[in-house]
Amino acid sequence: MEPAPRKVFVKTYGCQMNVYDSARMRDVLAPLGYSETTTPEDADLVILNTCHIREKAAEKVYSEIGRLRRLKRARAEQGGEMLIAVAGCVAQAEGEEIVRRAPSVDLVFGPQGYHRLPQLLARKKSGEGPVVETEFPAEDKFETLRTGQLAGKGVAAFLTVQEGCDKFCTFCVVPYTRGAEASRPREQIMAEARRLAAQGVREITLLGQNVNAYHGSDGGGRTMGLAGLVAELSSIPGIERLRYTTSHPRDMTEDLIAAHAGNPKLMPYLHLPVQSGSDTILKAMNRGHTAADYMRLIDKIRRAKPDIAMSGDFIVGFPGETEKDFESTLQIIRDTGYASAFSFKYSPRPGTPAADMAVQVPEAEKDARLQALQKLVTAQQTAFNRQMVGRTLPVLLEKPGRDPGQLVGKSPYLQPVHVSGGPHLIGMIVDAHITGVGSNSLSGHYDQAV
């Protein structure tokens, strides 16, 4: 019997892995009759795929639940039903606490439970109270979580190859919410990449909390690092571009650096967070490297791939951070020169060692430092974008632009590029002559469609 048609609305917070996971949840629900809707108003099931990384991100969930509760009540008054589910990292971190604080929530399950979603829904439908599932199951969720039709809508796709983290930076919740570092076997990844290529995907971004710690099995009992995986993925016909994120400086191996020099499909863009430029703070953060180690690494990478664009993450106001420490962070930014960067005010997270450190930095201080840091990276980003004018860049055309007859693509350096062209060109790589630069994008034209 065909399942009754229903609608699911998934709201995604946080990182790219959550974006990937949300697509997997839609895939798992499709055989149960659920199709996607873009508003909660007509949804039978609303899933909030949450992020716990900073307090603000986590608190957003509760205000969203508050709004949904009204919709749920209105639906019940009409004799209908709307289920509210909380998934993702807040679910993993807070579990039962969520249903205590927000009794309108029907289901709570963490990132390791997505393949069990059909069973969890069945339990709920059979009359169980709130269903909370935050165990780390023994089975491999990726065995069941296959990419479905929805995954290949675009020409650029994410593919999770590694999940979890064993590094335990003292500020970070990820090792607790995503669990221990685990890599997917190579064959599973290759199969998924081939499916994506068959659906028209041309660019794959490999995802992992520490993606360069990847150590999957190669099928023959040996382990394979990210460089090896990248090499194999490059051989799949149709896959023209590969990227990976997020990398940790400690796992930037020689062979991965060599891949940047030797593999033209590996894009010259590297997100390599350093968080701080002060050795005192790096030590307190448990990052496992010094500022000089990072600079040596950047040198080595740039020697191998001179045009590589660097990106990073920074935290200001980590406990005990002095003006002098902060100045060292500005210095490492000046020395590195970033094409883009993400920066955050330190947010104490329950259960992490840094939250209990004695000297917390006042909020006003954090605000001032964040502003100064962002001013510097914005200047670097603008300079980086401006130097593209007059150059010819290969641009992967991804989707229609805002204006009719316009397309948006990506440069190798992850910059959005606006060109003119019809939708039939989507998926092509054109050599675009860059003529203009906006605040966050480029524009250009190309001589002929290939």
Name the amino acid, one letter, at 160: T
Residue 366 interacts with ligand SAH (CB under 6 A): yes or no: no
User: How far is it, in rounded angstroms, from Cα 53 to Cα 35?
Assistant: 30
Nearer to ligand SAH, 237 or 351 (CB): 351
Residue 131 interacts with ligand SF4 (CB under 6 A): yes or no: no
Residue 92 interacts with ligand SF4 (CB under 6 A): yes or no: no
Q: Which residue is nearest to ligand SAH (CB)?
A: 313
Give me the least distance between CB of 263 and ligand SF4, in Å please: 25
Contact 85, 43 (CB under 8 A): no
Residue 8 main-chain phi, psi, to 5 deg: -120, 135
Q: Which listed option, ligand F3S, ligand SF4, ligand SAH, none, makes contact with residue 17 (CB within 5 to 8 Å by class)? A: ligand F3S
Chosen residue from 28, 71, 172, 408 binding ligand SAH by CB under 6 A: 172
Short-list 145, 176, 179, CA closest to 159: 145
Residue 48 interacts with ligand F3S (CB under 6 A): yes or no: no
User: How far is it, in rounded angstroms, from Cα 398 to Cα 411?
Assistant: 11
Q: Which listed option, ligand SAH, ligand F3S, ligand SF4, none, makes contact with residue 315 (CB within 5 to 8 Å by class)? A: ligand SAH
Q: What mask, x for binding ligand SAH by CB under 6 A, covers residues 319 to 348?
A: -------------------------x-xx-
Q: Which residue is nearest to ligand F3S (CB)?
A: 14
Give me the least distance between CB of 11 and ligand F3S, in Å please: 13
Q: Which listed option, ligand SAH, ligand F3S, ligand SF4, none, makes contact with residue 175 (CB within 5 to 8 Å by class)? A: ligand SF4
Nearer to ligand SF4, 275 or 380 (CB): 275
User: How far is it, in rounded angstroms, from Cα 115 to Cα 87?
Assistant: 12
Residue 353 interacts with ligand SF4 (CB under 6 A): yes or no: no
Query: Total residues at the site for ligand SF4 (CB under 6 A)?
Result: 10
Short-list 274, 356, 277, CA closest to 311: 274
Which range binds ligand SF4 by CB under 6 A, 101-109, 151-159, 170-178, 190-198?
170-178
Q: Which of residues 238-277 bind ligand SAH (CB under 6 A)?
A: 246, 248, 273, 275
Q: How many CB atoms lie within 10 A of CB 78?
A: 7
User: How far is it, in rounded angstroms, from Cα 358 to Cα 362?
Assistant: 12
Nearer to ligand SF4, 33 or 175 (CB): 175
Residue 165 interacts with ligand F3S (CB under 6 A): yes or no: no
Chosen residue from 115, 178, 241, 287 binding ligand F3S by CB under 6 A: 178
| Residues that bind ligand SF4 in the complex, under the rule CB under 6 A | 165, 167-169, 172, 174-175, 209-210, 248
| Residues that bind ligand F3S in the complex, under the rule CB under 6 A | 14-15, 17-18, 51-53, 88-89, 173-174, 177-178
| Residues that bind ligand SAH in the complex, under the rule CB under 6 A | 53-54, 171-172, 174, 209-210, 246, 248, 273, 275, 313, 315, 344, 346-347, 349
